Amino acid sequence: MNVPIMQLPFVKGLELCQTFFAEAVRPLLNHHFPALRYAAGRLGGGSDVLGFDTPQSRDHDWGPRLTLFLSEEDLASQAPTIDQMLRQELPLTVLGYPTNYGRHPDGTTNLEFTHQHPVNHLVELTTAARFFKVYLALDIQRPMQPIDWLLLPAQKLATVRYGRLFHDAVGEVTAVREQLHFYPHDIWLYVLAGQWNRLAQEEPFVGRTGDVGDDLGSRLIAARQIQNLMRLAFLLEKAYAPYIKWFGTAFAQLPCAVDLLPLFDQVWQATDWSQREQALNQAYLYLARWHNELKLTEFLPEEEGWFYERPYRIIHTDRYANALYDQIQDPQVRALPRGLGSLDQLCDSTDILSNPQRFAPFAALLNAEKATE
């Protein structure tokens, strides 16, 4: 009698997938297709790809799985045979977990024990070009342009960077992952500027809302600003931020979190807007000092000031945005409109950021020619 999936000893998904490849998939490929050149890895969607899976993750879209990247020729000629071979010869379990999957009514997959072949495995057979086209709407056959970078959500980039490649006899997937490891320098400056600009848009409003007795509004804006500060910290760390479910978990792992989290706690615990504003300004100044330490621009003042003649204290985060824009050298990036940034900075809808078919329309906002008209 099989133990229920949720009662099995938990194994991190990436470790399970790597064992699945090493002990099940690779020996079969070596035996039946010894001349096959391919790459294999666990990239793409799933909390396991980012290392954030927990025992609860096992209830859907989790288990021993991977992607096999073939050449176009081998995909056409060999994929059906490889798929059938795996269905008939994969071991029924790996580390106690079934290699067989069923489907929930909503289309998600779930692990199911079986006592006989064939197994419904989750070994995806594709090519590098097809995978990145489907997953990122990215054509890896042509050089990347600035707008290509800006239309890639950080969550998607994170799952390519932080996933695991088990084998690559061709080098194509490795090359794409190396290219996507982080933004080119001028794109980084542009996205950093966009994030400082987001802070500048609402910097005085924690005080302004509180000043008219809108404590709820002041707290909401403070929370938005903390999220913007966290995203800026990811960028300064040269790390990709995951989507909201794992955003706080990933932030807590950044080196800067030990300094910033206590400041955020002061914001949450503030009993009035002036205390809240003061705590936020300390977080702004922390990021400002970090900016100066990186020497991304000329040294900028690390000090508070007034919002014009009004009684609200700010650090003028717009200065950091403007200084960063002025350091951009690439003509294509310089031609992009100021004040925007990447797709993540333009939109936070999961239904858009998770669907590559919806990325392209945002290019019109960033089109260099239109921006200069």
pTM of the model: 0.93
pLDDT tens-digit readout, 328-373: 999 999 999 998 999 999 999 999 999 999 999 999 988 844 444 3
Run of H or E residues at 130 = helix 128-136
Does the structure show a pLDDT above 90 at 296? yes
- Whether residue 118 is preceded by a cis peptide bond, meaning omega within 30 degrees of 0, is yes
pLDDT tens-digit readout, 206-259: 999 999 999 999 999 999 999 999 999 999 999 999 999 999 999 999 999 999
The amino acid present at 65, given as its one-letter code, is R
Q: Closest by alpha carbon to 146, among 296, 340, 350, 348?
A: 340
Query: Residue 371's pLDDT is what?
Result: 41
Average pLDDT value for residue range 40-64: 95
Average pLDDT value for residue range 20-47: 97
pLDDT tens-digit readout, 176-209: 999 999 999 999 999 999 999 999 999 999 999 9
Which of 109-123, 275-289, 309-323 is predicted with the least confidence, judged by mean pLDDT?
309-323
Distance, CA of 13 to CA of 2 (rounded, Å): 20
Does the structure show a pLDDT above 90 at 105? no
Distance, CA of 357 to CA of 208 (rounded, Å): 40
Confidence of residue 308 (pLDDT cuts 50, 70, 90): confident
Query: Residue 312's pLDDT is what?
Result: 85
Tokens of residue 28, six digits: 């079969």
Distance, CA of 101 to CA of 116 (rounded, Å): 13
Which of 93-102, 114-123, 356-365 is predicted with the least confidence, judged by mean pLDDT?
356-365
Q: How many residues does the chain have?
A: 373
